[in-house]
Amino acid sequence: MTLIEAFKTAREVRLAARSGAFRGSTTGQCDQYIQANLIIVPSKYAKDFRGLCQRNPVSCPLLAESPAPGDPTFPEVAKDCDVRKDAPGYNIYVNGKATQIDVPNIDSLWTEDSVAFLIGCSFSFEGTLATAGLIPRHTELGINVPMYRTKAALMPSGVFGGNMVVSMRPYRGEEVEKVRDLTRPFSRTHGEPVAWGWSAVKALGITDIHTADFGDAPVFREGEVPVFWACGVTPQLSVMSSPDVKGTVIGHAPGKMICLDLKCADILEQQ
């Protein structure tokens, strides 16, 4: 089995998303590169959102912030990036309610007051897992990773609260320690799992493991257990569950990430 890989570099993914030619999940794409979750907030919430990331670095590992309100570029991590078009899909929230799902660009919604944040994505370590013979099931099957809301509360920061979202990859019980060891150094892209095993389903407050809240349904094989990582969709759930967050907030469509020029080796923690 190999990763599905149509694009070798992050820039190719960004350009294909920008033109509208690529609207799919970025899982398995440009596997040497870091992928990022996106959240765009009015500038008055930027400080509280920065605090949310500082206080919840496992679910919200902050990779970069746009240089100034109204500037849609990320010159330090993605050459010529235009954050208004470079994700293959976007979700729009107004006063905490999702109003548009998976739109191709946000040109008409970006304002001089918009501040964008990039948050590490667990797709970034999937190449490492695959190389070790632990290919994630959803990349093997060419589908999106299953993601779930949990009842695990975030550490609140100003107007932002809510619960953690997790992504799930099935592995055999005896593989879990190796999976933990391989993903631990990726602290900028969620790092090691937050929970694993069938008992974790209830502990996290997931009501039905077979029905994902975001992404595609999981596919388990005999002897496998769910392994959960914190997920960068968390800020979007936070926006939906924080009544003091008003106005327009924009996120990427879950699974459709901004691909960065950063490579895994650039952010791996020394062990």
Work out the widest C-alpha separation in the chain, in whole angstroms: 52
In angstroms, rounded to a whole number, what is the distance separating the alpha carbons of residues 104 and 114?
Answer: 18
* CB nearer its own copies, residue 7 or residue 148: 148
3-state SS class at 250: strand
Nearest residue (CB) to its own copies, 90 versus 186: 186
Specify the DSSP element, H or E, that contains 17: helix 10-19
Q: Does 166 bind its own copies (CB under 8 A)?
A: no
- Other CB atoms within a 10 A radius of the CB of residue 199 amount to 10
Judged by CB under 8 A, the residue of 40, 83, 92, 195 near its own copies is: 195
The set of residues, in sequence order, having a beta carbon less than 8 Å from that of 55 and lying 6+ positions away, is 154, 155, 156, 157
Q: In whole angstroms, give the CA distance from residue 65 to residue 43.
A: 12
- Return the number of the residue (7 or 229) whose C-beta is nearest its own copies: 229
With CB under 8 A as the contact rule, the residue among 157, 234, 238, 242 that binds its own copies is 157
Residue with tokens 């030619």: 21
Q: Does 51 help bind its own copies (rule: CB under 8 A)?
A: yes
CB-nearer residue toward its own copies: 23 or 50: 50
Q: How far is the CB of 244 from its own copies (least distance, A)?
A: 11
Do the Cβ atoms of 9 and 33 come closer than 8 Å?
A: yes
Query: Does residue number 199 form part of the binding site for its own copies (CB under 8 A)?
Result: no
Confirm or reject binding of residue 120 to its own copies (CB under 8 A).
no
Site string for its own copies, 121-150 (x = CB under 8 A): ------------------------------
Show the binding pattern over residues 205-234: x = contacts its own copies (CB under 8 A), - = does not: -------------------------x----
Cα angle 20, 81, 252 (rounded to 5 degrees) comes to 60
Q: Tell me which residue has tokens 């924009």.
A: 250
By the criterion CB under 8 A, which residues form the site for its own copies? 47, 51, 54-55, 57-58, 152-153, 155-158, 180, 184, 187, 191-195, 203, 230, 271
